[in-house]
Structure 1
């Protein structure tokens, strides 16, 4: 059962309940442009980080507010924190880690479906829906786009047949299998990641660099591996590498330099294609990808 608006905060944003059952209520904060010369707005959904055990949607409010000021509907969502009280590192259980991502992806699909259902009321263009996220949120948006929804959805595919997101922005994210990304489901992507990230690998490695005998061992393909793969498929891709940076930069472009996201979104809507790798030096020595930082 779902509900529409439950709270309005000073007309700045609306808090909406997009999913509710006997045990959980999931909400989003939706920011809408105050004035516009178009009848329907492109939409950006933001998914916060926190290892699927913490964090909250308020961390995406400044980002969503900025996008709304530039003509986008933007929502930061809450989702099921399945790993709360559990181990999401090497001492965890691999199947539980996968299930945490599955819960989050299903919640993102539900939030998307809710906004599609209310698109006329909220003036949303359902053909221009982007997903963005940092860390666990980035893993959520990557799998939400590239998993088979009919297989990984709890109740089948909740979205319209043939639905694809318009584009994706991932901060320090990774995907379990590059083979999920194919030409027929590929969308424009902007990625950013620290080259020394020891939590979510920048290239290809185990999550947290766990040893192979760890109960929580899980292979991850990080931003650089994804970037090389989508380049080989000829799609629009942008990678910002923070040389020497670690996982502390997973939300960097969602906290500041909002214009980089806005430029990417506008380019996608204008059908501008690009493949670029921007290298950003940090004050930390690089040990993870030296040849990329020269």
Structure 2
């Protein structure tokens, strides 16, 4: 039997197994010469999700956080979020990516930019590799290629926002994906975009984006950190830019909260995430939403400063 026949058959068996067990299946999507093997865990939609049984499902590509130096797609903090998404009828692909700051000796800064630039670049390359794999196997996995969503936390949120930014502007790394393909939405838990050209602009309107960010974030800039047009542009800056240019977004700003926002909204704001998918992805409503939240009961638990890791 030829490989052309065997491969689709294997993919069909895997897909049937996913839906029978509800458990993820791990597949390799990229292996670099003299480098790491990158895997993804594919979680099928829950059998109880409100969907047509044989319909192609929307997909959320989930990108873990960890400062580009740690973290894993299987970290316990993300598993309830994956479960929530599958219960809404999504397929989830939780992916690996290369950790560009894993061996860094000192923290990145405006005067030590190369390590973070490289870390973001290779992470985006890996997201594109995962996306390419999923596009090529979309029929076998029953994925709706018009509804590929990026979701990331912290470094993963930076990667998600950066991947959409570079794809919409047809930058070099994005050329591995079909020209007509665009991500349907981005969900960012404390993310930002790196730009050498000032506040990020788009040749094509960016994907509708759901931002969560704390105003006192001590890891990822809430507003921006820039010098002579080069810098990291956080959620506040990006939301303001989108509003000015007429691009759809929803921004949940948490007053006096630090980097905890990289985690807790995945659990505590699931109804709001569900509303975002309904209004921005499925109904494609042109909405501009800014919500400021001051929770007097919330205590910051993520007190560690990034520089402490390098001591």
Counterpart for residue 45 of structure 1: 61
Q: Aligned pairs, how many?
A: 273
> CA separation in 1, counterparts of 2:82 and 2:256?
28
CA 39–53 in structure 1, closer or farther in 2 if over 3 Å, else same: same
> CA separation in 1, counterparts of 2:39 and 2:107?
24
How far does residue 29 in structure 1 lie from its aligned partner after superposition? 1.3
| C-alpha contact 1:196 1:244 (8 A) present in aligned 2 | yes
1:203 to 183, 203, 223: 223
> CA separation in 1, counterparts of 2:240 and 2:216?
18
Counterpart for residue 42 of structure 2: 30
Using the TM superposition, name which of 227-236 and 260-269 deviates more.
260-269
Counterpart for residue 58 of structure 1: 74
Unaligned runs of 5+ in 2: 1-6, 300-311
1:227 to 220, 239, 243: 239
Q: Is it true that 1:175 corresponds to 2:193 in the alignment?
A: yes
How far does residue 263 in structure 1 lie from its aligned partner after superposition? 1.5
Q: Is it true that 1:116 corresponds to 2:132 in the alignment?
A: no
Using the TM superposition, name which of 171-180 and 271-280 deviates more.
171-180
CA 150–238 in structure 1, closer or farther in 2 if over 3 Å, else same: closer
Q: Is it true that 1:89 corresponds to 2:89 in the alignment?
A: no
Could you list the structure 1 runs, at least 4 aligned residues long, displaced by more than 6 angstroms after superposition: 2-5
> CA separation in 2, counterparts of 1:39 and 1:10?
18
Counterpart for residue 133 of structure 1: 152
Task: Output aligned runs, 1:274-293, within 5 Å.
Answer: 274-283=287-296
> CA separation in 1, counterparts of 2:236 and 2:110?
26
Unaligned runs of 5+ in 1: 207-211, 213-217, 286-294
TM-score, L = length of structure 1: 0.84
* Secondary structure of 2:123's aligned partner: helix
> CA separation in 2, counterparts of 1:71 and 1:25?
29
Counterpart for residue 288 of structure 1: none
> CA separation in 1, counterparts of 2:102 and 2:110?
14
Counterpart for residue 163 of structure 1: 181
Counterpart for residue 71 of structure 1: 89
Which structure carries more helix by proportion?
A: 2
How far does residue 203 in structure 1 lie from its aligned partner after superposition? 1.0
- Report the RMSD for the aligned CA atoms in angstroms: 2.8
| C-alpha contact 1:147 1:180 (8 A) present in aligned 2 | no
> CA separation in 2, counterparts of 1:189 and 1:20?
30
CA 81–237 in structure 1, closer or farther in 2 if over 3 Å, else same: same
> CA separation in 2, counterparts of 1:34 and 1:244?
37
> CA separation in 1, counterparts of 2:286 and 2:171?
31
